[in-house]
Amino acid sequence: MSEQSASYWNPSIPEAVRASFACQGAMSLIKASMPVVEQGRVEIHLPHWDGVGQQHGFVHGGVVGMIADSAGGYAAMTVAPEGSSVLSVEYKLNFLAPAKGTMLIARGSVIKAGRRLIITEAKVWAREGTEERLCAVMQQTIMAVSEPERA
């Protein structure tokens, strides 16, 4: 993270991030939750249930991409300028292993925060019992936008 964003932490940021997450119908639809919100880092948890599966019994790759994108985006929101929101500009997702287990955990973190662009990464882990297996990695570019620019 940049020195400027690393040195300042507004304690109301987790509340704003959680409120934004609660407005995402897509995350609600897939039963995702966001139990961790810290400066430059969030976690999104997704239980493995029939509604997110594909024909082989794994979590569908599109759903893996959804939670990775949101984890990176919300990590970026924790360091974005106050009063702004964030939008994904691009991301690259690599699948490393099938997304199978009882839960997926997307851990998003900020790599570098600039004034307008924020670079993040997310790693998606498949949890089975106490073991976790890395199943996808993503690198992402996020753009900070002022509230009036939102659709």
Q: What's the CATH code of the domain at 83?
A: 3.10.129.10
Tell me the HSE value of 26 on the side-chain side, using a 13 A CA sphere. 10
Radius of gyration, alpha carbons of the chain: 15
Q: Which pair of structure tokens corresponds to residue 49?
A: 């249930």
Please report the pLDDT score of residue 8 as a whole number.
Answer: 61
Instruction: Please count the structural domains in the chain.
Output: 1
Q: Which pair of structure tokens corresponds to residue 43?
A: 């976690």
What mean pLDDT value characterizes the chain?
91
**Domain membership of residue 78 as a residue range:** 3-149
What digits encode the pLDDT tens for the residues 52-98? 999 999 999 999 999 999 999 999 999 998 888 899 999 999 999 99
Please state, in angstroms and rounded to a whole number, the distance separating the CA atoms of residues 59 and 114.
Answer: 34
Q: How confident is the model at residue 148 (pLDDT cuts 50, 70, 90)?
A: low
The model carries a pTM of 0.90
Taking the CB of residue 94, how many other CB atoms lie within 10 A of it? 9
Task: Provide the residue type at 26 as one letter.
Answer: A
